[in-house]
Chains A and B, each alone.
Chain A
Amino acid sequence: MNIGITLVVQLIAFAIFVWLTMQYIWPLLLRAMEERRAKIADGLAAAERGKKALADAAAEREQTLAQVRGQAQEILGNANRQAGQIIAAARDAARSEGDRIVEAARAQVDHEIDQAREALRKRVGELAVAGAQAILQSEVDARAHGRVLDELAEQL
């Protein structure tokens, strides 16, 4: 093992190489890595912000949905109440109309019964007159006896 000028050459080369690395290599590499680190950190922070915004939006949606659901419930309640009222009103109207119709029919029936009874009475009078004629064998002057006959008819 001979130690000599080779060592000196290596020593000088070592110094130059280290200087070159320090000057032209290390800072560039470190800066690139640092920039990437910063970029990744920014990206993660942005993702975090996005996640938070999403959670906020979901909460807001939930709130709005609850509110809307309440409103719908209210509207539905109102509608039900209103429908009930309308049905009740209609039922009342129908019932009164029915009553009225029944009343009218009953009045008409009474009227017709009265008419029939009147006609019948008249007829019975006439029959009674005819029967009396037949019994008396004579013509009964309708005019002369009309008053009697009418009285008779009244009594029937």
Chain B
Amino acid sequence: MAPEGAHDSGSYVLHHLSNLTLNLQTMRIDEHAQGFWALHLDSTFFSLLLGALFLWLFRRVAVRASIDRPGKLQNAIEIMVEFVDKQTRDLFHQDNKLVAPLALTIFAWVFLMNLMDLIPVDLLPFVAERGLGLPALRVVPSTDVNITFGLSIGVFFLTLAFAMKYKGPVGYLKESLLHPFFVRRGPLIALNLVLVPFNLILRVVEELARPVSLSLRLFGNLFAGELIFVLLAILLAQILSGPAGAVLAAVGILFNIAWAFFHLLVITIQAVVFMVLTVVYLSLASEHH
């Protein structure tokens, strides 16, 4: 639904940035619900839908995979699998059968979630409002911090698990307490007692910075991208307000096309970055310094 005039552009933008929220305590749809029990129905729905789409499509191709005459879809998916496989082999040197499928899931799922950004901003919210009476709808799950943090915290848990698996609890503890500052020998060896807390603090910061940066990078890029689409849609809506408005609308259309092309790059790159960094973090967690 386009805004009727410049004065409610603000509310238009805000409306686009609010989730379809279900308050699990009251079991009511409430746009302004806050707190832990506020479930973002739209983000969750599209996230699960796209994840299921990924699983269904890849499973279908995997089951029917032909060795002699692969179809176009199989070729495309194999290119993706080969890319992920190569990245994983290059970055992760241990023998582990979880890392590559994890990387593929992240890449494909994040890419599909990002791809939702290329659907015209008002299309699905309009259909949802007119057809289903839903007050708000955000269709790009990766513009929701819950979704990106859900992924990055999962990766964080995995890095801890990998560290335990490959270094053992003692090795991990030793590395956390004695790295990077450590006096190996000499008269200053007693200094290590002072250095241990510094090492520990640095370690905690380092470990926490990874999932935070991982998720905020994806969220920030996609949120900004979506916001620009929303703002360009406001420009487009000026067509109703006379000849000057028509010029603005034309500019809006041009920028919209240009931004969509540029955004194609952004969504792909962000998916690759998320995948590659995940593999890098797991690799760092499983290798001795």
Contacts and interface: CB of A to CB of B under 8 A. Distances in A.
Interface string B157-181: 0000000000000000000000000
Contacts of B257: none
A26 B154 contact: no
Contacts of A7: 145-147, 149-150, 153
B101 A10 contact: no
Q: Name, among A5, A24, A26, the residue most crowded by chain B CB atoms within 10 Å (CB to CB).
A: A26
Interface residue tally of chain A, by bracket? Answer: 20 to 34
Interface residue tally of chain B, by bracket? Answer: 35 or more
A24 B150 contact: no
Contacts of A10: 43-44, 47, 146-147, 149-151
B67 A36 contact: yes
A156 interface: no
Interface in A10-62: 10-11, 13-15, 17-18, 20-22, 24-26, 28-30, 32-33, 35-36, 39
Interface of B: 21, 24, 33-40, 43-44, 47-48, 51, 54-55, 58-59, 61-63, 65-68, 70, 77-78, 81-82, 85, 97-98, 100-102, 104-105, 109, 144-147, 149-151, 153-154
Shortest beta-carbon contacts, A-B, top 10 = A10-B150, A32-B65, A6-B146, A28-B62, A22-B101, A26-B101, A7-B146, A21-B101, A6-B40, A11-B150
Given A32-B65, A36-B67, 19 more contacts: A2-B35, A4-B36, A6-B38, A6-B39, A6-B44, A6-B144, A6-B146, A7-B145, A9-B150, A10-B47, A21-B101, A24-B59, A25-B62, A25-B104, A29-B81, A30-B81, A32-B66, A32-B67, A33-B81
